[in-house]
Structure 1
Amino acid sequence: MAVQVAGELLITLGVVAILFVAWQLWWTNVEADAVQGAAVKQFVQEHQTPVTNDPSATAPADQAAAGTVPVGSAPRHGEAIGVVYVPRFGADYSRPIIEGTSQDVIDTLGLGRYKDTAMPGAVGNFAMAGHRQTHGAVLDNIHTLVPGDKIYVQTADGFYTYVFRNQEIVLPDRTDVLLPVPTQPGAVPDQRLLTMTSCNPRFGSEERIIAYSVFDSWQPLSAGAPAAIAKQLAALQGKG
């Protein structure tokens, strides 16, 4: 009898474990996707841009060089900074960028900006964190980035284009990747960087995968979206 009871308990525990894994890998993504999708649509509809598919619709070449790239102020914890688009992650990939990296942000709301790192477009290190396999899996495909890939960040000011440069794998305590000049304490930044961090490997958290990108250009909302995401943005605005 005792053996039978023990066997039934083990079966029950096994079923519970399977259900927990299913909840982690599936249902948390369903919930987060719904919240994040609604947040993206709300942001882009509140910050309308002209619809254009003109690949020449870019900001004047001297804007960045002249130091006129606008930099917004950090919002309150949990509030939206903007939207990130990464064509390498899929033609329809867009996720909210939210202030803060605590669980209440990255478990539901999207990519979180590390407090005290740079804002989009600023000289220094604009750093974000996101989950790899659960809670929306916002950076599930971070390992697929290749040098030259474009990453687009939309804020209330316009579109910031970054170009992916390289990745590295570090231990979780390596917070120096968030410094103004990553991994170089005390160094004075002279570049505008975007750093994305997530867990590694895909189904674990023993390490962190870090993806570095370098600022390329900026254009105001009035110029329309960069050509690579113009069709996607039009659909989000209800104009596609």
Structure 2
Amino acid sequence: MTDIAEWGAPARVRAEEGWEPPSRRAWRLIGELMLTAGVVAVLFAAYATYGKSWQIESEQNGLATELDRRWAASVERPVAGQPMARIHIPKLDRQWAVVEGVSQADLRKGPGHYPSTAQPGQIGNVAIAGHRISSIFWDIDRLHQGDVIVAETRTGWFVYRVVRQRLVLPRQVEVIAPSPGRPGQAPRKAMLTLTTCNPKFQNWQRLIVHAELVREQAKSSGRPAELKGRP
């Protein structure tokens, strides 16, 4: 007769040898895969936010030098992929060289100017796009009515004040029309519009900041008061 104490022996042996039921093994494997996928997602988000930011910061240094060189040579005509202006946002303590164009190659350098839109200071809409990453338009959701955006060209400073912030769908391209939100109507104001993705780390919306020109100042008069004390 088999001793009742021996009935559990095979189970004890299997446990001691590390054996586990197939269902438990499958769930453990799924858990490990999910953990790995989570780590990969975090690393990808970190690269998208900080890796691209470092790359763009490096590009911006070169663009700033190139822009100064072009201005010193009295070159103002926009050239695709080349810097055409600067924008300054005192509230965010940021400035960028803006390239002509909004292709992926252009936006890897910094903010890009939609070529079909107005130039700084002109009647119409100066539309500028940028990635939602830490080195570019990460914090433009902090811009509200009355905040200043200054566009700088070779010969002048153009001071805009924010009039509206809004969220739209990517298909709502009327936000960069000469009269934003009123496509087909002739523009009566000089405006500047910033566009970027929303929410952060996603792109199913667009965050839009509209600003209107309040004054302009020749470069020969020095820096505008809104930028005094800033580099």
Q: TM-score if structure 1 supplies the norm length?
A: 0.76
Structure 1 SS opposite 2:63:
helix
Change (3 A) 1:145 1:194: same
Provide the C-alpha distance between the structure 2 equivalents of 1:5 and 1:203, rounded to a whole number of angstroms.
Answer: 29
Provide the C-alpha distance between the structure 2 equivalents of 1:182 and 1:5, rounded to a whole number of angstroms.
Answer: 53
Equivalent in the alignment of 2:207: 209
The C-alpha deviation readout for 1:92-143, integer Å capped at 9, x for no partner, is x11111111111011x211111121111111111101011126x3x111111
Equivalent in the alignment of 1:32: 56
Equivalent in the alignment of 1:158: 156
Change (3 A) 1:204 1:8: closer
Alignment of 1:116 onto 2:116: yes
The range that moved more, 180-189 or 13-22, is 13-22
Q: Where do residues 69-80 of structure 1 align in structure 2 (5 Å cutoff)? A: 73=77, 75-80=78-83
Query: How many positions carry a matched residue from both structures?
Result: 204
Change (3 A) 1:190 1:10: closer
Provide the C-alpha distance between the structure 2 equivalents of 1:208 and 1:16, rounded to a whole number of angstroms.
Answer: 26
Percent identity between matched residues is: 32
Provide the C-alpha distance between the structure 2 equivalents of 1:39 and 1:230, rounded to a whole number of angstroms.
Answer: 23
Q: Where do residues 1-240 of structure 1 align in structure 2 (5 Å cutoff)? A: 3=26, 12-44=36-68, 47=71, 73=77, 75-90=78-93, 93-106=94-107, 108-133=108-133, 136=135, 138-233=136-231
Aligned residues of 2:100 and 2:115 also touching (Cα < 8 A): yes
| Runs of 4+ residues deviating >2 angstroms | 1-19, 37-48, 230-233
Q: Which protein, 1 or 2, shows the higher relative CO under an 8 Å CA cutoff with sep ≥ 6?
A: 1
- How many angstroms does 1:18 deviate by? 3.0
Provide the C-alpha distance between the structure 1 equivalents of 2:227 and 2:154, rounded to a whole number of angstroms.
Answer: 17
Aligned residues of 2:87 and 2:150 also touching (Cα < 8 A): yes
**Structure 2 unmatched ranges of 5 or more:** 1-21
Aligned residues of 1:40 and 1:96 also touching (Cα < 8 A): yes
Instruction: State which structure, 1 or 2, has the greater radius of gyration over its C-alpha atoms.
Output: 2
Structure 2 SS opposite 1:29:
helix
- How many angstroms does 1:185 deviate by? 2.1
**Structure 1 unmatched ranges of 5 or more:** 49-71, 234-240
Q: Which one-letter code corresponds to 2:83 in the other structure?
A: A
Q: Which one-letter code corresponds to 2:103 in the other structure?
A: S
Aligned residues of 1:224 and 1:230 also touching (Cα < 8 A): no
Provide the C-alpha distance between the structure 1 equivalents of 2:138 and 2:41, rounded to a whole number of angstroms.
Answer: 23
The C-alpha deviation readout for 1:137-156, integer Å capped at 9, x for no partner, is x1111111121111111111
Provide the C-alpha distance between the structure 2 equivalents of 1:130 and 1:162, rounded to a whole number of angstroms.
Answer: 18
- After superposition, the CA RMSD in angstroms is 2.3
- How many angstroms does 1:193 deviate by? 0.6
Aligned residues of 1:169 and 1:208 also touching (Cα < 8 A): yes
Q: Which one-letter code corresponds to 2:105 in the other structure?
A: D
Aligned residues of 2:102 and 2:129 also touching (Cα < 8 A): yes
Aligned residues of 2:49 and 2:133 also touching (Cα < 8 A): yes
The C-alpha deviation readout for 1:161-209, integer Å capped at 9, x for no partner, is 1111111111110001111111112211111010111111123211111
